[in-house]
A = this chain, B = another copy of it.
Amino acid sequence: MTITNGYKQNENEKELDILNLPALEQEAQKIIPTGGFGYIAGGSEDEWTLHANRTAFQHKQIVPKALSDIEDPQTDTRVFNLDLKTPIMMAPAAAQGLAHVKGEIDTAAGVAAAGGLMAQSTYSSTSIADTAEAGNGAPQFFQLYMSKDWNFNESLLDEAKKAGVKGIILTVDATVDGYREADIINHFQFPIPMANLTKFSEGDGKGKGIGEIYASAAQKIGPKDVARIIQYTDLPVIVKGIESAEDALYAIGAGAAGIYVSNHGGRQLNGGPASFDVLTDVASAVNHRVPIIFDSGVRRGSDVFKALAAGADLVAIGRPAIYGLALGGAQGVTSVFNHLNDELKIIMQLAGTKTIEDVKHAPLLDIKY
């Protein structure tokens, strides 16, 4: 165990024997310090939306296809011109040094080993270059929290491009931090530096509360920013934090190469809908113009299946992967991805769908209760 600024960082590196992803949370809670765990696990206000993210999946059911004459379902897929072994990707998530001493470096390695797509967060504990290198050639996206300081933005984008990322995820649902009570109760301040912030005047994030970090972030984000980033990077820009058909079209109009349906895992706008509840409408409006990434509440193979069937092209997980990171480092992350992908394969076989394309065309049943 490493102690950084008084915070105990785990150093586990091992394969995990996973029963299911929800069960990881309490295991992780035992080894992640209270403040860090509260930051990772918590949602905003009374966590209604956080909770709804899970229950929403219960209201659409998988209609199995009997006598479908298939075996050995395959989870590989091609999205954003990337060949991936699984439609499950890593959501961009801040400050993974809270879970493990190697932070995003281990996450990137673990995701790469599982054949998934990694997304780095602006607020990573490790640097863009280091995290990219850990990916060992596997594709990565870089997520941008836009700063008020455009020089800072450009510097990050330069570094990301130099590191070879395949796309930029622009987060637009966090222009101020959600009201997260766990952080307030724990008087939480980031004990671990955020690598991308250390070279800039904003400081390194260490010893700051989440509110202070956000203070230097841009609140005003509009279509012109999307256009500007596209122009600057010449990379596909995916707009993250879309929760309505209207906004999806607006973002595509602004040049978005992908739509990321998410409510930030229930950490931002509490009182907004569960992400899964709006996915069908968004997908219907997007109508295959660009790919759709989905996150918020995914814990089961059946959740991944339902999200794909409801219109997602990629399905991201955040907290469960971070718990895997805490418990087993890179190998733990791989274990989490492999477990979820295995659950998905079982569902695919039982539902009578051989490929991810088949899943995307599978019907769902609306359940009234």
Contact = CB atoms under 8 A, between A and B. Distances in A.
A173 B71 contact: no
Interface residues of A, number: 75
A185 to B, nearest CB: 7
Interface in A206-265: 218-226, 239, 241-244, 247, 250-251, 254
Interface stretch (A27-35, A79-87, A158-166, A342-350): A342-350
Interface string A49-91: 0000001011101111111111110000000000000000000
Interface in A1-51: 19-20, 22, 45-46, 48
Contact of A46 (B45, B223, B300): B300
Interface string A301-331: 1110110000000000000000000000000
A269 interface: yes
The interface centre, meaning the residue of A174, A184, A349 with most chain B CB atoms within 10 A of its CB, is A349
A280 to B, nearest CB: 13
A221 B67 contact: yes
A129 interface: no
B20 A277 contact: no
A203 interface: no
A368 interface: yes
Interface in A268-295: 268-273, 277-278
A279 to B, nearest CB: 13
A369 interface: yes
Interface stretch (A117-125, A175-183, A190-198): A175-183
A244 B69 contact: no
A224 B19 CA distance: 37
B272 A61 contact: yes
A134 interface: no
